[in-house]
Amino acid sequence: MISTKYLLAAGLSLVLAGCHTQSNPNQETENTAQTTDPMIKERLDKYTTVKLNPSLDHLSDNQQKMVRLLVEAADHMNELFWYEAYGQQDSLMETVTDQEVQALININYGPWDRLDNHTPFIQGIGPKPAGANFYPADMTKEEFEQANLPDKTSLYTFIRRDAQGKLVTIPYHEMFAEQVKTVSNLLKQAATLSEDPDFAQYLNLRAEALLTDNYQPSDLAWMDMKNNAVDLVIGPIETYEDQLFGYKAAHEAYVLIKDQAWSERLAKYAQFLPELQRNLPVGAEYKKETPGSEADLNAYDVAYYAGDCNAGSKTIAINLPNDEEVQLKKGTRRLQLKNAMQAKYDEILVPLADILIDPEQRAFITFDAFFANTMFHEVAHGLGIKNTINQKGTVREALKEHASALEEGKADVLGLYMVTQLHKAGELEGDLKEYYTTFLASIFRSIRFGASSAHGAANMIRFNYFAEKGAFQRNQADGTYRVNYDKMQQAMNDLSREILTYQGQGDYEGVARLVEEKGLIRDELQQDLNRLAEQHIPVDVVFEQGLEELGLTAAGR
């Protein structure tokens, strides 16, 4: 069998051969066309550029200097993530001269399109290894499982081969010894400028964690911070990049400016969780667990994205830390990334609604509703149950590979349920029609990422379920969709009950059937989605970001 590594090397030399003939400009065009994918423009067209420039005016001189250091530290995560996702960035870039291809490589942190199931867009490049660059490309699952390496499943080790070809582990802090030292020093320097002592403490602990790969003390300190105006998420965090086992964490960073006014608005909703749990539209046996009411919910503007979270589609809400021991002790923090949401709302949701939502209902598409629906999705993960009611263990164990899709589907529909209940109680402003119409438009936005991911499958199930219940109808004349508000509320309650029941029963076969029957994009809908691409409605955003955008280039600012 030819290894992926071999295919990859072959691909690169092919492109290199193309580059040798560059001296002749006519040939260069020809060669570029031969060695790259003809769909480059189409792939790039899925993105639109947005400037990331939240105001820092309310921050003191010292705080602004601190942000500058944090952005510098965050920027190093790009280099680390590049290595994890692909390997040596330089060696790939040297082979490519076309600016559009370079731009696409930068967006994807490699030669595979993240919005198209990692399809390679440079000819001769093989498929992306499932384990990215965390494992040797020629390693099989069996070889890994048989290897006697105590820290092989660690979040923070690479698997490599020694001179004899035997598998060995290399801790992140050794593989990246030089880089983590630099970042650690930047964080320590930033800590001396912090006005909030808890944030300074967190930065110092995080600086240590990068040098040792022991992140728990800094995660605990992060949960203890409450009054910091600036925040930083940095380090190896999510494991999605490791599609082989999901063991290895990838590096990323967010530099965040807290939005005090919105955070206060959010704080009050958490206290309603226990009551909302009691009122869930399902039998009492499915809602016995008590959700924590001290959920930490805050809004931020992002000043800088780097690494994993900046690759392909951009995150607009996060829920951290992932360390379950920290979660048990301190809970989690849900971060709503407001300016990133605003960008997706302005650039994608509004133009999409102008094509797919009934003209009379377009006025009900609002940012506040988009923000609330996204926020309550995060909170709704805390509702319902984590354990089956019939001794099948946790819901996650019982539902196996379908657990994530159903959990995401639950959070979406129960998020809307929370909106409905809080609106009824007079706790949420605006017309309920805004939340429902924006909810439907958001389904169209999400399913453009495809039905294969957990979120994608969840959205398709809901779309098809809602369609069958008459929650909306398609106007045959112009291909727009019109919400039937009463029926949508009924469908929301019915689907909530079904999902909670599947989870409580740990009904693997039932869920598999649901995914098979409803988790797909039917022809008519696909044609409607194609209209969005034809009219160049972007799928996601790319950020123009950095010190200059933040007005932090002048020395001493």
- Beta strands at 317-320 and 296-307: parallel, antiparallel or unpaired: unpaired
Give rounded-to-5 percent helix, strand, coil for the chain: 55, 15, 30
Report 514-533 residues binding Zn ion (CB under 5 A).
Answer: none
Residue number, 212 or 327, with CB nearest to Zn ion: 327
Shortest gap between Cβ of 411 and Zn ion (angstroms)?
Answer: 4
Strands 157-161 and 167-171: antiparallel
If we measure between CA atoms, which residue out of 515, 380, 532 comes closest to residue 452? 515
Structure letter (DSSP) for residue 480: E
* Residue 207 vs 411, nearer CB to Zn ion: 411
Residue 116 and residue 60 in contact, taking contact as beta carbons nearer than 8 Å: no
- CA gyration radius, the chain: 24
Element (H, E) at 47: strand 47-51
| Euclidean distance between CA atoms 139 and 398, whole angstroms | 30
CB nearer Zn ion, residue 65 or residue 377: 377
* CB of 12 or CB of 405, closer to Zn ion: 405
State which of residues 306, 353, 411, 511 lies at the interface with Zn ion (CB under 5 A): 411
- Contact segment (CB under 5 A) with Zn ion among 196-204, 409-417, 430-438, 456-464 equals 409-417
Report the run of H or E that residue 321 belongs to, with start and end: none
CB closer to Zn ion, 312 vs 415: 415
Contact flag: residue 297 with Zn ion (CB under 5 A)? no
> Which one of 8-16, 86-94, 346-354, 406-414 is the stretch in contact with Zn ion (CB under 5 A)?
406-414
The residue with its CB nearest to Zn ion is: 411
Choices 107-115, 219-227, 411-419, 462-470 (CB under 5 A): range interacting with Zn ion: 411-419
Give the integer Cα–Cα distance in Å for 512 and 295.
Answer: 32
Question: Quick one: which segment of 47-55, 143-151, 276-284, 410-418 binds Zn ion (CB under 5 A)?
Answer: 410-418
Residue 273: helix, strand or coil by DSSP? helix
Interface with Zn ion: number of residues (CB under 5 A): 2
CA angle 411, 330, 243 (to 5 degrees): 55
- Shortest distance in whole angstroms from residue 458 CB to Zn ion: 9
CB of 373 vs Zn ion, minimal distance in Å: 12
CB of 343 to Zn ion, least distance (A): 20
Question: What is the distance between the alpha carbons of residues 540 and 446, in angstroms, rounded to a whole number?
Answer: 10
Site for Zn ion in 532-551 (CB under 5 A): none
Question: In terms of CB distance, is 73 or 399 closer to Zn ion?
Answer: 399
Strands 250-258 and 230-238: antiparallel
Task: Select from 135-143, 402-410, 464-472, 531-539 the region that touches Zn ion (CB under 5 A).
Answer: 402-410
Residues at the contact surface with Zn ion, assessed by CB under 5 A = 408, 411
